[in-house]
Structure 1
Amino acid sequence: MPVIYTDLQDKIVLLTGVGQAPQEYDKEIWGNGAATAKVLAQSGAKIFGCDLDMASAELTKKCVEEQVKDARIDVVKADVTKRDEVVELVKKCMDTHGRIDVLVCNVGKSAPGGPAEMSDEVWQSQLDVNLTSVFLCTGQVLPIMEKQKSGSVILLSSVAGKGYAGRSHVGYSTTKSAIVSMAQTIGCRYAPLGIRANAVVPGLIHTPLVARLAFEYNNGDYEGIVKKRASEVPMGRMGTAFEVAQAIAFLSSQEASSYVTGSQLIVDGGITAAVHN
């Protein structure tokens, strides 16, 4: 059962990357954005979500409304790497709800390669999707929260940003490391104004995208890649998107995390501790 945070009732959550990839292998496996929408809706929050893929956003809306009684979720299409679209996204949310209490920056993309192999175009794409999107969204939302004198900003990082773990994805690891630094900077800068900012740092999470990894890196062997990834975790399993979402819900709640800012909440089954000890 999810933890219900009563102070999230009627709070407005702007959530990027809300889309749910098709659940090809298991209907119970959700992505981080969709799971976050569901978990926050279960606490009574109103979700205003965006995704570049409107079909995936509509799938999340459908799943949440089917499974959460009286869920309130709106979804729109937006490319959060483009300033004009982020400005319009925030305007739509404000026109609908008049405030933004929680911002969750969830979009992310990973591409293989190191500095010698990665093209300039792929490198720039990694920066845009993983980092510039956060810069643009926080830049538009923080002034709103400042006027409100309250708000929680939650940025999705990754254990890939904590150190090298055998995968050369230099763009992804670099940007995810930078996101932690952004959370620290924003958290300290805006602390006197009643605004908190933190990073959630997931490890190996079992989402619908694992199926894509199977075809890209494991000759289509889905069960094989699930077993392989689980073997890399001290707990012996991948995490679920709902475990990530519960961390996000905790940081969204003022009652639960009022003294937490500029911090990082690692949700990785022990990977980081095992690698760095």
Structure 2
Amino acid sequence: MGERLKDKVVFITGAGSIGEGWGNGKAAAVQFAREGAKVYASDINREALDDVIQIIRDEGGTVEGRICDVSKAAEVEATVQACMDAFGRIDVLHNNVGVIDPGTPEQLTEEQWDRLMAINVKSIYLTCRHILPIMVKQGKGSIINVSSIASTHSLGYPCISYTASKGAVNAFTRDIALNYGPKGIRCNTILPGLMNTPLIHQKNVVSVYGSAEEMVRQRDALVPIGHMGDGWDVAHAAVFLASDEAKSITGIELPIDGGITLKIK
């Protein structure tokens, strides 16, 4: 167990993982705890949330958690209050929730657009709305928002709602960094690239390639360093940005992409 986040309280959304393995949120929650943080984990899926809580407790870490639909204001407010009741403060906010819904403006329904924006963008507004006052009162805090390289580079297929939402996350982050920096609060964004997480092993993704092995082979080949990243790459970056080692870093967009954005425009 490390001590880079010793006694810090981390509030993390999307802490579960879709399917078996280590998604970005699950890896981050566990790594926060391994570095000494007290973790308050939330997810919309009970089984996924219970899984990550059990892992942290089995390793001797400190964690509490609650089911939360982060697109709903009342649920976010209640979850933040539950964290304060449990730990009395919030030092780090890690916004990890995000969904993808491919399509052009002509193909997407209004309902699809609104749902994705509520999950990917409104959720960050809601967590910040309720946690920023706590951090301001404390005089210190670190916010980490998970975006995507799709916010700055083309994915190569139509995905307008996802790319627009992640661009909004970047802009939101910069605004918070600028306006809350004088109050002791840092805000940064992580931009994952092609990642080998449980999300890409879902049937609808694998079917495009024919097999999971072929999918991994093709995606690895696109990355200059020869392989995709994984949830732990995002987790280690999040720990750094949450820690005092990053005390002078704010407003950045940190790609975790193996160099793939060097190849695409």
Q: TM-score, normalised by structure 2?
A: 0.96
Residues 165-198 of structure 1: CA deviation (Å, up to 9, x unaligned): 3021111111111111111110110011110000
- Give the corresponding residue for 1:164: 154
Matches of residues 212-223 of structure 1 in structure 2 within 5 Å? 212=202, 215=205, 217-218=207-208, 221-223=211-213
> What fraction of aligned residue pairs are identical, expressed as a percent?
36
Q: Residues 43-72 of structure 1: CA distance to partner in whole angstroms, max 9, x if unpaired?
A: 110110101111110111123333x3x211
Rounded to whole Å, the distance in 2 between the matches of 1:232 and 1:214 is 20
What per-residue deviation string (whole Å, max 9, x for no partner) do you get for residues 218-254 of structure 1? 2651111111211221111110100110000000002
Partner amino acid for 2:186?
R
Q: Please name the residue that 1:200 is paired with.
A: 190
Give the aligned partner of residue 26 of structure 1. Answer: none
2:253 corresponds to: 264
CA distance in 2, matches of 1:224, 1:261: 39
Find the partner of 1:139 among 89, 112, 129: 129
Alignment partner of 1:96 is 2:86? yes
> Which of 213, 220, 230 is 1:230 aligned to?
220
- Say whether 1:48 aligns with 2:40: yes
Is the aligned partner of 1:33 residue 2:25? Answer: yes
Contact conserved, 2:13 with 2:94, CA < 8 A, in 1?
Answer: yes
Q: Which runs of 5+ in 1 are unaligned?
A: 24-28
Q: Output the aligned Cα RMSD.
A: 1.5
Q: CA deviation at 1:84?
A: 0.5
Q: C-alpha offsets along residues 119-163 of structure 1, whole Å, 9 cap, x if unaligned?
A: 111111110110000011111100100000000000000011112
Contact 1:214 1:225 in 2 (8 A): no
Aligned to 2:19: 22
Measure, in 1, the Cα distance between the counterparts of 2:203 and 2:174.
31
TM-aligned CA deviation for residue 41 of structure 1: 0.8
Look up the equivalent residue of 1:51 and give its one-letter code: D
TM-score by length of 1: 0.92
Structure 2: 5+ residue runs without aligned partners? Answer: none
**CA gap 1:269/1:219 in 2 versus in 1, 3 angstroms:** closer
**8 Å Cα contact 2:149-2:261 kept in structure 1:** yes
Structure 2 letter corresponding to 1:132: K
How many matched pairs? 265
